[in-house]
Structure formats: C-alpha cells, structure tokens
Amino acid sequence: MLRIEGLSAGYSAKPVLNDVSIDVGAGQFVAIVGPNGAGKTTLFKTISGIVKPSGGAIIFDGVDLLAVPPPQRAHLGIAHVPEGRQVFPSLTVMENLEMGAMTESGRRDWRTNIERIFEWLPVLKERRDQFAGTMSGGQQQMLAIGRGLASSPKLLMLDEPSMGLAPSTADFIFERLIEIRRQSGLTMLLVEQRVAEALESADHGYVLEAGHVVLQGNNATLRADDRVRKAYLGM
Ligand SMILES: Nc1ncnc2c1ncn2[C@@H]1O[C@H](COP(=O)(O)OP(=O)(O)OP(=O)(O)O)[C@@H](O)[C@H]1O
C-alpha cells in the first residue's frame, strides 16, 4: 500500500530524515516510534506533501506520490490526522466531519461512513451539534480521527493521537483504533511516543532515532528487543 524508499527530507539547511525506508502492506497497522525530534512528524508531512523531500521515493497504491500535487493526495486515499488534532474549533462536530468528507470517495460514501463513525466513536453522535473547540482533548482527538475516516481513506495516518491526554483517555483511543481496524481492515500508520501502547496496538513497528530507522520488526519482536525494552519500555 505504501512504500517509502531511501527518503531524505528536512527544513532549508536542516536535514531531518536520512535514507528512511518503510513498508506498509494493505490492511497492516504499522507504528513508528521514537523520541522527541526523531523526525516522525516530518515523515508524515513529507507523505502529505507539506515538506518536500531532498531524495528518495514514496509509492502509494502503485502511484509515484511525489509526482502528485499535495492537494490531490487526499483524493488518492491518504488521510492525515495531524499532531495536536487541529479540529476546526468554531465548527460543530458534524461540520468538522463534513469537512473531512470533501474527497470524491468521502462524498460518495458519506451515508455509510457517518453511520460507522458514529458507531465506532459514539461521543461524536452525542455531541454532533457541539462546537469542536468546546470539547475535551480526548473528544477532539476522536473528532480528528472521525474526520480522517470521513474521507473514506485507504490509509489512515495518525500523528501522536495520545498527545496531551490522560493515560486512561489515551488507552481508550488506542482501543478504539484497534477496534476500527479490526472491523474495517483499514491500513493504518501511527507515529507515537507512547511506545508500549503503540507496539501493543500495531502488528509491525519501526524505531526512528535522529532521522534514521534503527530497528524494525513485528510487534512481539520489538517488544522483546533489549534495546527497545531499555530505551523505551523502562525495563
Ligand atoms: N518547520 C520547521 N523548521 C525547522 N525545523 C523544524 C521544523 N519542524 C520541525 N523541525 C525540526 O525537525 C526535527 C524533527 O522534528 P519532528 O517534529 O519531525 O520530530 P518528531 O519525531 O515528530 O518529534 P515530536 O514527537 O517531538 O513531535 C526537530 O529537530 C525539529 O526541531
């Protein structure tokens, strides 16, 4: 579904990603974990087209993504749930979801999608007429996920959905993601600093440190790896 090959990217004179290669198979749930500043958000921004890479390739569903203008990438089926949620605060929950459904497939599948989104994230149905800016952090995160799902994506990219949330709320979000994935078979790519939860939720993981992939494997292998246990799991 997504193949990133030898990707390098950064900001003007500052290189951030260095020769990063990542594979996400159709239906897979892949987590990219690593410390602050490792380049996780930069990777997502490069996939979405906000950051222009200096080298490498990104192939999405057989298409050379770097040749596709950034505004068109959502129409190919990539939904980016950004770091910090970034919901539209002065729009209602329903209006935010409608904004997510602006892609061709989102408009086509709207009725089915909205029913499923409400089933998976019932708080959005209960609060459909509430202004997004008045909701709690966890509720806003669920709205950001719902907005991503409303575009009817083939790939859902989630940038630190647990950021700023209480552990119990973050756990609830991870549990919802696992359930959404189980029911829909959607391909998911997650970046997270909460390494234990991310590796428990996903089937495959990559460890990104200082712009390099230093380790990868299925979730059980990574959770058993000594370096991961010491550096990220506090064992
Ligand atoms: N717009 C920007 N201009 C210049 N440097 C930037 C910009 N955005 C990020 N950086 C730098 O790029 C590096 C990687 O940042 P990035 O946000 O991708 O890391 P991250 O792994 O997502 O970290 P975090 O978990 O803290 O968000 C950091 O050193 C950061 O300061």
β-pairing, 78-81 with 155-159?
parallel
- Express each pLDDT in 94-136 by its tens digit: 999 999 999 999 999 999 999 999 999 999 999 999 999 999 9
Q: If you measure from the C-alpha of residue 120 to the centroid of ligand 1, how many angstroms do you get, rounded to a whole number?
A: 32
How much is the average pLDDT of 138-142?
97
Provide the pLDDT for residue 14: 86
State pLDDT tens for residues 195-222.
999 999 999 999 999 999 999 999 999 9
Distance 196 CA to ligand 1 centre (A): 22
Alpha-carbon separation of residue 130 from 22, 123, 139 (angstroms): 39, 11, 11
pTM: 0.93
Of the candidate CATH numbers 3.40.50.720, 3.40.47.10, 3.40.50.300, 3.40.640.10, the domain formed by 1-77+154-235 belongs to 3.40.50.300
> DSSP assignment of 50-109, as one string?
SS-EEEEEEEETTEEGGGS-HHHHHHHTEEEE-TT----TTSBHHHHHHHHTTSHHHHHT
Query: Distance (Å, rounded) from C-alpha 83 to C-alpha 103?
Result: 21
pLDDT at 187: 97
Please report the pLDDT score of residue 232 as a whole number: 87
How high is the mean pLDDT of the chain? 94
pLDDT at 25: 96
State the SS3 of 157-220: EEECCCCCCCHHHHHHHHHHHHHHHHHHCCEEEEEECCHHHHHHHCCEEEEEECCEEEEEEEHH
Read off the pLDDT of each residue in 13-39 and give the average, rounded to a whole number. Answer: 94
pLDDT at 2: 97
Q: 62-77, pLDDT tens digit by residue?
A: 999 999 999 888 889 9
CB 141 within 8 A of CB 85: yes
Of 12, 18, 42, the residue with max ligand 1 atoms within 8 A of its CB, to mutate for a pocket test, comes to 42
> Does position 161 have pLDDT exceeding 90, yes or no?
yes
Per-residue pLDDT, 85 = 87
Name the residue ranges covered by the structural domains of the chain. Answer: 1-77+154-235, 86-153
- So what's the pLDDT on residue 92? 98
For residue 10, the ligand 1 atom closest to its alpha carbon is 12
The pLDDT assigned to 123 comes to 97
Q: How confident is the model at residue 188 (pLDDT cuts 50, 70, 90)?
A: very high
ipTM over 0.95: no
- The structure tokens 């057989």 sit at 62
The closest residue, in CA terms, to atom 10 on ligand 1 is 11
Residue 118 CA to residue 114 CA, distance in Å, equals 6
- The rounded Å distance from CA 161 to ligand 1 centre is 17
Per the rule left: phi > 0, alpha: psi between -120 and 50, beta: everything else, 164 is left
Residue 136 DSSP class: -
